């Protein structure tokens, strides 16, 4: 093929990269990082060997490419998880808080704790690393970190006279941790926060229907008095059976529906609110970005609202200051 003529450029690029001055590495090439680079080297050597073998025997190209892609993705994930582990150890992770208000009165009722990571001065979105972390044992200490910080913040708000709650997101993997209810109870007692002030959110896409342990964990959390919420409602595969089977007390309508409620999506929001109330559930609308959306939610008898129109997620000190002046009518 004529495109083969560009192949000699690859070693040229590698040679140039080797000749350029090295940027100071943030972490030593030991432990997990050494394994990560070893895996990449093995994948590269395997690819070369397959190309050589292909000269004498047909090797399925699609399966080889898929295997190499999976190997590279796994390598990147391990590298990313190591970075998050170091960030946790170095205190680079923090929580920001986004308020939840009563849609009808504007009264502040709580805040959602959102994980934030600033890496070398740049914000790293949770969606870029949490999926990889959730597939490893790092999710356990990371969840404990978020619980501890969120409840410490809630305790501070209550000392200042703000009797509001805090919401924390759980990963699907957390629901397979039999000791999670005990860890939650210990964190509540450590900070002196009542269980009723904590809401644990589970994404609607979580595969928990066939997980007996998950059901037991949710029942134990409910027994503590902790509120359980289904996050991103409308984007997954929730059913009436699921909502009736598990001790859910809150539904959070996904922002994509709320932001388009002025057009064709409004019936979806209205139906979700009616469904939640018929099941005796509290309803939260995410993604409220203007007064018109908040007014529409009031007309639909929505319970709570959350979004940039109310406030962006704020660092702890800024959120405490916002609480002292927040008024929504």
Residue 147 vs residues 26, 33, 97, 311: alpha-carbon distances, Å: 28, 28, 13, 22
| Distance (Å, whole) CA 145 – CA 71 | 30
Beta-strand ranges (E) seen in 286-327 are: 304-305
Structure-token match 């970075």, residue found: 83
Residue pLDDT tens, the chain, 329 long: 555 666 677 777 777 777 777 665 555 555 556 666 776 777 777 777 766 666 666 656 555 566 666 767 777 888 899 999 999 999 999 999 999 999 999 999 999 999 999 888 889 999 899 999 999 999 999 999 999 999 999 999 999 999 999 999 999 899 999 999 999 999 999 999 999 999 999 986 666 655 788 889 999 999 999 999 988 776 655 556 667 778 999 999 988 888 887 765 557 889 889 989 998 999 999 999 999 999 999 999 999 999 999 999 999 999 999 998 876 54
Residue 23 vs residues 17, 26, 31, 52: alpha-carbon distances, Å: 11, 9, 20, 35
| Distance (Å, whole) CA 99 – CA 164 | 10
Query: Within the chain, what is the greatest distance between any pair of CA atoms?
Result: 77
pTM: 0.78
């Amino acid at each position: 093929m004529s495109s083969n003529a560009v192949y000699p450029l690859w070693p040229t690029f590698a040679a140039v990269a080797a000749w350029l001055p090295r940027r100071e590495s943030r972490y030593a090439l030991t432990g997990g990082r050494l394994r990560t680079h070893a895996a990449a080297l093995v994948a590269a050597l395997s690819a070369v060997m397959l190309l050589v073998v292909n000269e004498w025997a047909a090797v399925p190209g699609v399966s080889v490419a898929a295997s190499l892609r999976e190997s590279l993705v796994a390598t990147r994930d391990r590298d990313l998880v190591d970075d998050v582990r170091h960030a946790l150890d170095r205190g680079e992770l923090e929580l920001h808080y986004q308020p939840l208000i009563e849609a009808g009165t504007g009264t502040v009722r709580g805040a959602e704790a959102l994980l934030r990571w600033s890496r070398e001065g740049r914000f790293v979105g949770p969606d870029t690393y949490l999926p990889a972390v959730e597939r490893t044992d790092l999710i356990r200490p990371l969840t404990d970190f978020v619980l501890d910080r969120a409840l410490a913040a809630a305790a501070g708000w209550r000392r200042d006279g703000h009797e509001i709650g805090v919401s924390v997101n759980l990963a699907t993997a957390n629901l397979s941790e039999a000791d999670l209810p005990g860890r939650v109870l210990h964190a509540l007692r450590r900070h002196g926060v009542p269980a009723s002030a904590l809401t644990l959110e589970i994404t609607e896409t979580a595969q928990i229907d066939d997980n007996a342990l998950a059901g037991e964990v949710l029942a134990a959390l409910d027994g503590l008095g902790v509120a359980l919420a289904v996050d991103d409602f409308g984007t997954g595969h929730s059913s009436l059976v699921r909502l009736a089977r598990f001790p859910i007390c809150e539904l959070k309508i996904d922002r994509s529906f709320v932001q388009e409620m002025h057009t064709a999506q409004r019936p979806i929001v209205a139906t979700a609110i009616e469904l939640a109330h018929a099941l005796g559930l509290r309803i939260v609308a995410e993604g409220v970005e203007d007064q018109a959306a908040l007014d529409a939610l009031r007309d639909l008898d929505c319970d709570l609202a959350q979004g940039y129109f109310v406030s962006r997620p704020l660092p702890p000190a800024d959120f405490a200051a916002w609480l002292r002046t927040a008024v929504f009518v």
